[in-house]
Amino acid sequence: MKKIISLNELPLGQKGVIYRIACAEGEKRRMMELGFAADTEVEALLKSPCGDPVAYLVKGAVMAVRNEDAEKIEIIRNEFI
């Protein structure tokens, strides 16, 4: 079963595929330059001690993303992965 959630809801160690980025065009472009593009697999790796930001593995690189930015990235999470 597939489910669309925002990136900040992805549990650590789980993977998903980016569905869309729902934000202003300039912010969307910045996220895409970091590798967060549609149909890209992303994995939640680590959380900072205070919980924000979270480190994600995307296109072979580890990126730290604030929760306020991660909630604008929608992903498809396969419940069986």
Q: What is the number of structural domains in the chain?
A: 1
Taking the C-alpha atoms of residue 70 and residue 19, their distance in angstroms, rounded to an integer, is 13
Given this model, what pLDDT does residue 3 score? 87
Q: What is the CATH number of the domain that holds 13?
A: 2.30.30.90
Given this model, what pLDDT does residue 51 score? 84
Query: What does each of the 81 residues of the chain score in pLDDT, given as a tens digit?
Result: 678 999 999 999 999 999 999 988 888 999 898 889 999 999 999 999 988 999 999 999 999 999 999 999 999 987 654
- Omega prior to 53 cis, within 30 of 0: yes
Q: Decide: pTM greater than 0.95.
A: no
Nearest to 42, CA basis, from 21, 69, 63, 66: 63
Given this model, what pLDDT does residue 80 score? 53
Full domain range(s) for residue 7: 2-78
